[in-house]
Amino acid sequence: MRSSNPVLGRAFGNKRGYAAFEPRSTDALEEMYSSPSASPLQTGRMTMDDVVARTGFLFTILVAVGAAAWFFDVGFGVAMIALLAALGLSLVISFSKTVRPALVVTYAGLEGLAIGAISNFYNDAYPGIVSQAVIGTLAAFVGVLALYRSGKLRATPQFTRILMGALIGYLVLGIASLIASFAGVGGGFGFYGVSGIGLLLAAGGVVLASLFLVLDFNQIEEGIRQGVSEQESWRAAFGLMVTIVWLYLEILRLLAILRRD
């Protein structure tokens, strides 16, 4: 194996110690220099088209499985099992050094099963709430994307630290409220009621999920700029899907709380 670097050339068998140069005709050299540079697709690097295509594919699976779960009325218990399985799989995907598209596709299917059953449950209790949540999710996504593209929202280090701190507070408060709801203390702090912190949690969740889209957009841009492997587009699509599903569930819960009152 030879290298164009003189030092490496000696190490890898270039006996002359210099980069091997094959004589070329003038026409061949002109053709080489005038030819367009290789595109990211040709070099196996991630592109925005890759991320968009993978994200669209995953959401197609999610919606298809979700529609089937809704149609067959699989039940809330199945939804919880699927949600827990999806959570475990998401941890495997997130901490795995190797991107495994099959796991990402499986995750999309599990999320679809859970989302379909949960949406059906909410829609039975509050007719029309699912379409409202979908419209709200799309509006939030487009709004945050527009603000990010305009430069009004940027994933600065300070922004990221504040967002992560808010997420920790949100999780702690959510767990405390959930425990209280099982214990029957104070009506579970109003976990689903307007009078307690349930409304605050739901509204805070919508804001947090929306702002986490900024981190997703930034990571995708950084990955493209750094020329990461095309396979990483699966991980980028996975991260984007996780945030959008989280946003949808928070909007669904917020609407349910408001309509319950």
Q: What average pLDDT does the segment 166-178 reach? A: 80
**CA 52 → CA 55, 82, 111, distances in Å?**
5, 25, 19
Supply the mean pLDDT for the chain.
80
Q: What average pLDDT does the segment 193-222 reach? A: 84
Q: What is the residue-wise DSSP string for 239-250? A: HHHHHHHHHHHH
- pLDDT band, residue 170 (cuts 50/70/90): confident
**Structural contact between residues 221 and 48, judged by C-beta atoms closer than 8 angstroms:** no
Of 101, 142, 116, 103, whose CA–CA distance to 63 is shortest? 116
Separation of alpha carbons 209 and 248, rounded Å: 9
Residue 90: φ, ψ to 5°: -65, -35
Cα 120–77–54 angle (5° rounding)?
65
Separation of alpha carbons 171 and 212, rounded Å: 15
Q: How many other CB atoms sit within 10 Å of the CB of residue 122?
A: 19
Residue 115 CB burial class (10 angstroms; 0-12, 13-18, ≥19):
buried
pTM: 0.77
pLDDT score at 175: 76
What percent of the chain lies above the pLDDT cut of 90? 49
Higher-confidence position of 99 and 133: 133
Range with top average pLDDT, 20-24, 101-105, 202-206, 224-228: 101-105
Of 5, 9, 245, whose CA–CA distance to 133 is shortest? 245
pLDDT score at 32: 42
Separation of alpha carbons 235 and 108, rounded Å: 12
Q: What is the residue type of 12?
A: F
List, for residues 15-37, the tens digit of each pLDDT value. 444 344 344 455 543 554 454 44
Q: What average pLDDT does the segment 69-81 reach? A: 87
Among 25-34, 53-62, 155-164, 206-215, the minimum mean pLDDT is found in 25-34
Instruction: Take residue 230 and report the two structure tokens written for it.
Output: 């095309």
**Structural contact between residues 176 and 198, judged by C-beta atoms closer than 8 angstroms:** no
Q: What average pLDDT does the segment 60-82 reach? A: 90
- pLDDT band, residue 94 (cuts 50/70/90): confident
Residue 119 reports pLDDT greater than 60: yes
Residue 252 reports pLDDT greater than 90: yes
**Structural contact between residues 19 and 4, judged by C-beta atoms closer than 8 angstroms:** yes
Instruction: Determine the angle formed by the axes of helices 232-260 and 198-226, rounding to 10 degrees.
Output: 160
**Structural contact between residues 74 and 43, judged by C-beta atoms closer than 8 angstroms:** no
pLDDT score at 96: 86
Q: What average pLDDT does the segment 33-42 reach? A: 46
pLDDT score at 183: 55
Q: What average pLDDT does the segment 221-243 reach? A: 91
Q: What average pLDDT does the segment 132-149 reach? A: 94
What percent of the chain lies above the pLDDT cut of 70? 75
